[in-house]
Amino acid sequence: MSIIRLNIITREMNSKRIITLAAMSSLLPASVGILSAKTNTEKRPNVIFILMDDAGYGDFGCYGQTKIETPNIDALARNGILFTDMYSGAPVSAPARCTLLTGLHLGHAQIRSNDELKQRGNQINSLLAMEKDPSLEGQAPMAKGTKTIATLMRDAGYRTAMMGKWGLGNIDSGSVPTKMGFDEFYGHLCQRVAHCYYPMYLYRNETREYLDNPPMEEGQRLKEGADPYDESSYKDFVGNRYAGDAIYDNMISFIRKNQKHEFFLMWTTTVPHSAMQAPKEYVDYYVKKFGDEKPVYELKNYFPCRYPRATYAAMITYFDYQVGEMVKELKSLGIYDNTIIFFTSDNGPTHNALSSTSWFDSAHPFRSDCGWVKRSLHEGGIREPFIVSWNAKIKPRKSDHIGYFPDILPTLADIAGVPAYENDGVSIYPTLVGKQQPEHEYLYFEFPSFAKERGRGWLSIRQGKWKGLVTGVEDGNTTMQLYDIVADPREEHDLAAENQDVVKRMWQYIKESHTPSSNPKFNLHISYPE
């Protein structure tokens, strides 16, 4: 049975930050001028920003995936611009979302790693405890009054919404979507609650709405004596209301309600982040395609899964189907041609007991092995699929423009025709409309991981073909690895010894870009070479 039949079944450059591309207009050729998506006779476009969770560069057909079927996302790529060199802002969820929302890279961002606020005690790991006590939910918050891309778009006259995962503060912190520029929110405030696809509740704005799902506890095991190869042994990990369905329904409702008004929508799905849970018909399709496989059922986190590979693929194809249905809805409402759709992922694919990252080669053409994907500054951890589709204006093509999440804020400012907040980005709007594209001098990344197996602190610079990488920063390491990332995307040949001039320049960029964080968990202690 083809997947089509199945579907029927069911982004101071450094210390000199850029304010907006419009502010650079005097530096650009006269033919470019001040860029804006709005003229005297045109309505500004709607903007839908789709953010997947832990999806890899190589998880989609248009980026080379051969096992997982993604016809609708592939169609977006065929009809738009497929970027080959776009990066997240960070290798894990919360800081990636912070860089996206605020336009500030990790040397300036408020949130620079995941911080689960463990000072609240071990109960923060319990879904049942969080259900009883909302103060146990949520991650480190952004500061009250932080300006975001949603604030920018709302103040520009757009109606704004986020549907999906937030992960940047708890209900008591003030750092919630409705206080950060979004008129409407529906989904998960806490990324730990989002680890269950059949949650007991989701949030509508700042109020819980309960779903018809039984209680499930993260780390819950199969019943004693249950056969792990018997599909019926996993019935306790299936509920009545799949979170992705509820989020999709509310997303479509927002579009319908605002079809006659300019809107900015962020669709921040949790797919395909673990746990592995997906609608049965999609799983069955891939079981038939892949054949039988070993279950994963003895886990510290998440839930047991009978068919982990089939379920991972099912989750992505399920979401792909929803993307296709959303496009159909935009067309039926007559607003597709004037809607810009961005598509990307928050960071690279994960590598845990449930994941099939290596089997799917999810970071292809980069390394998909443990230590080279999520939680690392290797290409597999931060290079993302990135597609922009705008039927009325974009000429389908590929782009090797080098950019990252901080670019989204100035891009949206140009789309809305308003000044941008202070940011570390370069608008990609010129690329969207076929104009001359200003380039970054470099991209900057830091990541304050303290786990020995994850490098104990990372630094990275991307400049043209060069990528500088420093691991073990917290151990005082000052040796930079240097790769020609165009010729060597798998980062196998260190060219630092014969290119010390490039290494020296990159260390200067690090000095210019890093500022201390007030959060000790985020405060990377950098030693510089003499």
pLDDT tens digits, 96-147: 999 999 999 999 999 999 999 999 999 999 999 999 999 999 999 999 999 9
Residue among 31, 108, 157, 24 nearest 424 (CA): 108
**Contact by Cβ (8 Å): 437, 427:** no
Domain presence at residue 200 = yes
Angstrom distance (rounded) from CA 467 to CA 461: 6
Q: Are 147 and 162 in a shared domain?
A: yes
Q: Which two tokens stand for residue 183?
A: 């008129």
Q: Are 310 and 450 in a shared domain?
A: no
Q: What is the pLDDT of residue 94?
A: 98
Mean pLDDT of 83-96: 98
Q: What is the pLDDT of residue 4?
A: 38
**Contact by Cβ (8 Å): 339, 47:** yes
For 4-33, the pLDDT digits (tens) are: 334 434 433 333 333 333 333 333 332 233
Range of the domain at 351: 3-22+48-437
Last residue of a domain, one of 382, 405, 437: 437
Residue among 285, 283, 279, 205 nearest 243 (CA): 279
Band of the pLDDT at 419, cuts 50, 70, 90? very high
Domain presence at residue 30 = no
Q: Are 420 and 461 in a shared domain?
A: no
Q: Could you identify the residue written with the tokens 């604030």? A: 151
Instruction: Assess whether pLDDT exceeds 60 at residue 283.
Output: yes
Q: Are 346 and 286 in a shared domain?
A: yes
Domain presence at residue 467 = yes
Q: Are 75 and 169 in a shared domain?
A: yes
Q: Are 105 and 254 in a shared domain?
A: yes
Last residue of a domain, one of 437, 456, 478: 437
For 428-443, the pLDDT digits (tens) are: 999 999 999 999 999 9
How many domains are there within the chain? 2
For 178-210, the pLDDT digits (tens) are: 999 999 999 999 999 999 999 999 999 999 999
Q: Could you identify the residue written with the tokens 């980026």? A: 63
Q: Are 147 and 289 in a shared domain?
A: yes
Q: Residues of 35-72 as b/e, b for ≥16 C-beta within 10 angstroms?
A: bbbbeeeeebbbbbbbbbbbbbbbbbbbbebebbbbbb
Q: Are 289 and 161 in a shared domain?
A: yes
Band of the pLDDT at 449, cuts 50, 70, 90? confident
Angstrom distance (rounded) from CA 391 to CA 445: 33
Angstrom distance (rounded) from CA 14 to CA 312: 39
Q: Are 297 and 418 in a shared domain?
A: yes
CATH of the domain at 462: 3.30.1120
Domain presence at residue 27 = no
Across the chain, mean pLDDT equals: 92
247 vs 40, residue with greater confidence: 247
Instruction: Assess whether pLDDT exceeds 80 at residue 489.
Output: yes
User: Given its phi and psi angles, is residue 29 left (phi above 0), alpha (psi -120 to 50 degrees) or beta?
Assistant: beta
Residue among 192, 197, 305, 307 nearest 248 (CA): 197
Domain presence at residue 41 = no
φ/ψ of 323, rounded to 5, equals -60, -45
Q: Are 456 and 424 in a shared domain?
A: no
**Contact by Cβ (8 Å): 266, 163:** yes
A 10 A CB-CB count for 20 gives: 23
Last residue of a domain, one of 420, 437, 454: 437
Mean pLDDT of 51-70: 98
Domain presence at residue 32 = no
Angstrom distance (rounded) from CA 385 to CA 74: 11
Q: Are 223 and 351 in a shared domain?
A: yes
Q: Which two tokens stand for residue 195?
A: 């680890």
Beta-carbon contacts of residue 318 (< 8 Å; ≥ 6 apart): 10, 244, 271, 278, 279, 282
Tell whether pTM > 0.95.
no
What would the DSSP string read from start to end of 282-343? HHHHHHHHH-----B---SSS--BS-HHHHHHHHHHHHHHHHHHHHHHHHHTT-STTEEEEE
CATH of the domain at 333: 3.40.720.10
Domain presence at residue 33 = no
Residue among 32, 13, 30, 19 nearest 430 (CA): 32
Instruction: Assess whether pLDDT exceeds 50 at residue 263.
Output: yes
For 336-356, the pLDDT digits (tens) are: 999 999 999 999 999 998 989
Q: Which two tokens stand for residue 47?
A: 């903007």
Domain presence at residue 500 = yes
Instruction: Assess whether pLDDT exceeds 80 at residue 35.
Output: no
Q: Are 289 and 425 in a shared domain?
A: yes
For 371-401, the pLDDT digits (tens) are: 999 999 999 999 999 999 999 899 999 999 9
Instruction: Assess whether pLDDT exceeds 70 at residue 450.
Output: no
Instruction: Assess whether pLDDT exceeds 50 at residue 86.
Output: yes
% the chain with pLDDT above 70: 91
Band of the pLDDT at 315, cuts 50, 70, 90? very high
